[in-house]
Amino acid sequence: MSLCFQPAKSKDGFQAKEVKPVSSQASPSEAASSQPQQATHTSSHPRHKRVQDHEKERRELFSKPPAQTAEKRGEGGEVEPPPDTSSDPPESCSDSRGCQSGRERGGLSAEQPFIKLSQEEYGEHHSSIMHCRVDCSGRRVASLDVDGVIKVWSFNPIMQTKATIMSKSPLLSLEWATKPDRLLLLGSGVGTVRLYDTDAKKNLYEMNIDETHPRILSLACSPSGSSFICSAAALSGDSPPRLPVSGQLLLWDTKTVKQQLQFSLEPDPVAVNCTAFNHNGNLLVTGAADGVIRLFDMQRYESAMSWKAHDGEVYSVEFSYDENTVFSIGEDGKFIQWNIHRCGVKQSEQALAQDATGPFILSGYSGYKQVQVPRGRLFAFDSEGQHILTCSGSGGLIYRLTDGEPALESVLSLGGHKAPVVTVDWCSAVDCGTCLTASMDGKIKLSTLLAQKS
């Protein structure tokens, strides 16, 4: 049964909630760096020069004829050896899994879709990462750790810290604004959302969302305007035992800095863990603590469908490339693809290891153990939606999406981490993609990939 949406209906907005304008002077609690700082382990050469060199190597390799498999015989009947067309693979291709089939007959194997050109480390955080997101332009990264420290940094042509934000109140979520993309939304654990200008290095507004639901678990900016979705949840101890935590799903506007409406969450108002828009902002998909995925029509501002998706909480949810399906990861350790035209119908399902879904565990000396519940994005797609990047105990893992069983086919292990990876992001541009993997020891690895074109 296909979804059929009606034209947008006008709705009256809610009463404006209290908004605190922030003066142009940064407060003592908000320390933004005035000078860009050189990050650790930066590259000795500009990134774009290195990528161009590898692109040139790739073209040269593909332009060479394949080695002759059969021997040629000369006029005198003597056997002529086949011509030497072998060529060394790119020096940067050092990953054994990614390159084990790349030295075949002087060319690159079409079965391996990516070559790992390089891997750099951003090491400015000193505690476990919660969120790590690239902005819409692919120029800047915002990363948040459990101590409430936010770093805004760039990686092209070199790694540089642009701003450091210190927060007195605990922060739980962050999201880049779509328009303008210099703005950063920061959700706290005390019922506020701050709008931060990364160019001016100052707070613009602080929005008071709801005192009864102080934990801002998820933020999502509409790609078609200035509005954003805010998921607010009650404190865990305020809910009855064995029942999901209470929550609200709200629509706010960054221009008017006012709440526009509150969505109905059926059958009960429950905490929403993750939110994602489709490409034009007409659809919104959410995953909640009750294991239910809800699909909202953003033209009519109402729920289009919902279904029980996971045993336990839904941790991460995203639209597929063609937007006919959604993918989700839940507390039950399953990665599932759902058909949005047939409510609750699975297209594929695969169990993942615990180090890909959480809760994430970091063990140390003398029985020390740190446990972290998933907060950030647990998977991300490449530019064509054919491959997926997930978390693991020692680095990011890239899989190819298949139409059969199993649903995921292992392609490349990025590695490089000594602690569990807890969140990922994938920034794609033409043939060169950048994978971000962030771990519990505060390290963020930036892996530059070259996509092979058959």
Tell me what pLDDT residue 105 has: 34
What single DSSP character describes residue 104?
Answer: B
Which of 44-48, 190-194, 394-398, 430-434 has the least mean pLDDT? 44-48
- What is the predicted pLDDT for the residue at 157? 84
CA 187 to chain centre: 17
pLDDT tens-place string over residues 110-146? 468 899 999 999 999 999 999 999 998 888 999 999 9
Lowest mean pLDDT, pick from 10-14, 245-249, 380-384, 422-426: 10-14
Instruction: Give the pLDDT mean for 224-247.
Output: 83
pLDDT band for position 287 (cuts 50, 70, 90): very high
Residue 275's Cβ-side half-sphere holds a number of Cα atoms within 13 Å equal to: 26
Q: Are 436 and 446 in contact (CB under 8 A)?
A: yes
Structure tokens at 298: 């953003």
Q: How many CA atoms lie within 13 A of 332 on its CB side?
A: 17
Nearest Cα neighbor of 207 from 199, 198, 219, 222 is 219
- Is the predicted pLDDT of residue 78 greater than 60, yes or no? no
Determine the pLDDT at residue 451: 85
Is residue 326 scored above 60 in pLDDT? yes
* Alpha-carbon gap, residue 118 to 399, rounded angstroms: 19
Question: Is the preceding peptide bond at 180 cis, omega within 30 degrees of 0?
Answer: yes
Q: Please give the pLDDT value at position 429.
A: 58
What per-residue confidence (pLDDT) applies to 59? Answer: 59
Angle at 64 between CA 63 and CA 70, to 5 degrees: 140
CA 212 – CA 226 distance, rounded (Å): 26
Residue 8 banded pLDDT, cuts 50, 70, 90: very low
Res 79 pLDDT > 50:
no
Among candidates 67, 116, 1, which has minimal Cα distance to 445? 116
What is d(CA 397, CA 393) in angstroms, rounded to the nearest whole number?
10
Q: Judge whether 391 and 385 are in contact, CB under 8 Å.
A: no
| CB burial of residue 65 (10 Å; 0-12, 13-18, 19+) | exposed
Q: CB atoms < 10 A from the CB of 115, how many?
A: 24
Structure tokens at 328: 């989700």
| Better-scored residue on pLDDT, 138 or 318 | 318
What's the pLDDT at 20?
A: 53
